[in-house]
Structure 1
Amino acid sequence: VESTGASLKVVPAKIDDFQIQFDKFEEMITAKTKAIIVNSPNNPSGVVYSEETIKKLAEVLNAKSKEYNHPIFLISDEPYREIAYGVDVPYLPKYYDNTIVCYSYSKSFSLPGERIGYIVVPDEVADFGKVYGAIAGAARVLTHVNAPSLFQLVIARCAGKESDMSTYEKNGKLLYNGLIEAGFKCVKPQGAFYLFPQSLEPDDYAFCKRAQKYDLLLVPGSDFGCPGHFRASYCIKTETIEKSLPLFKKLAEEYKK
């Protein structure tokens, strides 16, 4: 984005449920806005955007596109689409025509690091030919054009099959319940494999540094544009999470002294 002379702006989420904070969102859209990027199920919060949120998002973007007389594209980043726990994940092109979908098999097939996937440019997208050509050209210029041939064969054989996501769901419940019991505040995850609790002090970097004393490796929320939080990943062995829960309790007790 920055190589084109553009800039990225972070839209604040509602802290109580991490849905879009629409008053702030509408204020930040200007005549220069070209695209909006969303990620649902979300990294780092584990939240899935509700159908109500998606409908409101489409309504706002349609109105703003009309107001500024140019399309505002919606880029839907969906590597966690299949990792959802008892909730529906709305498919955004059904709600907004100018949606481009980016998908990766690295999460749905539990192949972290293997960046192989696809981009969907529906026929309904404004200037379809130019957009499709620009994406193809960018892939070549940025050297993203060919995944290793072995994994192309793997994906061709596995596409359409379902992976067992029950371990992620089990791990998420275990970690969430353990952190709540230890006194943390956290939105319950609906998908992906992350928790995003509030840190126990305003400085999330300092909090994550202190957590390292207990071998807890956490990511500061400030790195995601949301200070005062931290990300904990649970795409690990269940026994590792079980061992971590007493350590989270010890960490929390430090803040009660």
Structure 2
Amino acid sequence: MSLISAEIAGYLEKSSWIRKMFEAGIALKKQYGEQAVCDFSLGNPDLPAPPAVGDALRTMAENAGKPFAFGYMPNGGFQWAREALAGQVSAEQGMPVDAGDLLLSCGAAGALNAFFRAVLEPGDEVLAVAPYFVEYGFYVSNHQGVFKTAMSRPETFELDIEAVEARITPKTRALIINSPNNPTGVVYSREELEALAALLERKSRENGRPVYLIADEPYRFLSFDGVKVPSVLPLYPFSVVVNSFSKNLSLAGERLGYICLSPLMENRAELMAALTLTNRILGFVNPPVIGQHVMAHALGSQVDVGVYAQRRDAMAEVLSGAGYQFSMPKGAFYFFPKAPGGDDVEFCRVLMEEKVLAVPGSGFGGPGYFRLTFCVDEEVIRRSAGGFARAMAHFA
């Protein structure tokens, strides 16, 4: 007699490779000790939060006894928090954004679930560019949607507009992009996004309803070598930006994010009203009070991205030295090299025997590759060189 639904049983069967490898890492560290294991499985930022975060927490602690310090709020978050955020988002996105275009949420995951609950009819399709963050499919299924993917270009992972077009149907309701990308580190260019916007404009007209473009941007702050991260909001009226503060402020456990609608979207007040409702009825109720105070105080601050740049160079040196094939990431904190032998699951098993933890690319819709996160100390990266070399030799 099963205690859970068949749908959730299926989810458990194909649950995230990220978590599987992370949990395997815990077991290895327990068996061999922390210093014996090089864990590149989980994108959990390890840099200290910027000083403004500590300042905000101290202020909150000093005022914790006051009756107005905590409590319920409007479902989209405090108005003063949204107004403060609107200024920063306007600067980042290159166009004026009003507080009414923003809704604060319980992380980017909460924002995506609120959005899908608001716009999807049963059977509607949501398309993602692969490789993609694995949780997208679960979020879509939560709200009776159908998750589909379109592959990016081999090896470079640039947008393949023709592949996207081939996957769009009259049931397509939204397309998700993630740039800078997890797991590939690619940053989509303005030219690619303009071509994508033109395609979605045409398909929206043909389908008689909008195909939303969702830009998931938790790594917007982290790009390298002078690469700019273009904004979708000015390019397409039915564009939506989702973001969080888990990476740029090292607040991964605080669960504070937001969704922003393009100011070019007509009748967007109707969609924002729906989002405000779904943000509540899904059980998230409100974004964290403490998180909103921290966010407002820390706007304009971020972790030291120079540290990530140094780690990227160290990881590239280790991989190149062992003979791996990879594209240098332009943003985010991931490498996505080719798996020697072509079987990414088998390669990650061999790598684990060397006490090096990576995630098979199959978990991201990118078989034949594997993901490494470099949000770990540089010493760990350099200590892994021997393990990477021995794993490569296994397939020689």
* In 1: Cα distance, 2:287 partner to 2:235 partner: 31
Cα deviation code 1:5-24 (max 9, x no counterpart)? 22111110112211112221
* In 1: Cα distance, 2:230 partner to 2:352 partner: 38
Which one of 8, 13, 16 corresponds to residue 155 of structure 2? 16
Kept after mapping to 2: 8 A contact 1:218/1:231 = yes
**How many percent identity over aligned positions?**
37
User: Number of aligned pairs?
Assistant: 256
Kept after mapping to 1: 8 A contact 2:234/2:262 = no
Partner of 2:265: 125
Higher relative contact order (CA 8 A, sep 6+): 2
* In 1: Cα distance, 2:370 partner to 2:278 partner: 33
Cα deviation code 1:59-114 (max 9, x no counterpart)? 11111111222111001100000011120000110111111110101111122233
User: Which sections of structure 2, spanning at least 5 residues, go unmatched?
Assistant: 1-139
Q: CA deviation at 1:126?
A: 4.3
Q: CA deviation at 1:137?
A: 2.0
CA RMSD of aligned residues (A): 1.4
* In 2: Cα distance, 1:193 partner to 1:110 partner: 13
Partner of 2:210: 71
Q: CA deviation at 1:182?
A: 1.1
SS in 2 for 1:92: coil
Which one of 183, 198, 218 corresponds to residue 358 of structure 2? 218
Q: Which runs of 4+ in 1 moved over 6 A?
A: none
Partner of 2:348: 208
The one-letter code sitting in structure 1 at the alignment partner of 2:170 is A
Normalising by structure 1, report the TM-score.
0.95
Which one of 167, 180, 190 corresponds to residue 330 of structure 2? 190
Greater shift in the superposed pair: 187-196 or 104-113: 104-113
Cα deviation code 1:194-246 (max 9, x no counterpart)? 00011112221111111111111111111101101110000011111110122
Aligned residue runs from structure 1 range 80-229, under 5 A = 80-85=219-224, 86-229=226-369
Cα deviation code 1:133-170 (max 9, x no counterpart)? 22222221222333333322221210122431011111
User: Which sections of structure 1, spanning at least 5 residues, go unmatched?
Assistant: none
2:177 paired with 1:25:
no
Kept after mapping to 2: 8 A contact 1:71/1:126 = no
* In 1: Cα distance, 2:249 partner to 2:355 partner: 28
* In 2: Cα distance, 1:50 partner to 1:207 partner: 32
2:56 paired with 1:56:
no
Kept after mapping to 1: 8 A contact 2:220/2:229 = yes
* In 2: Cα distance, 1:169 partner to 1:112 partner: 20
Kept after mapping to 1: 8 A contact 2:156/2:327 = yes
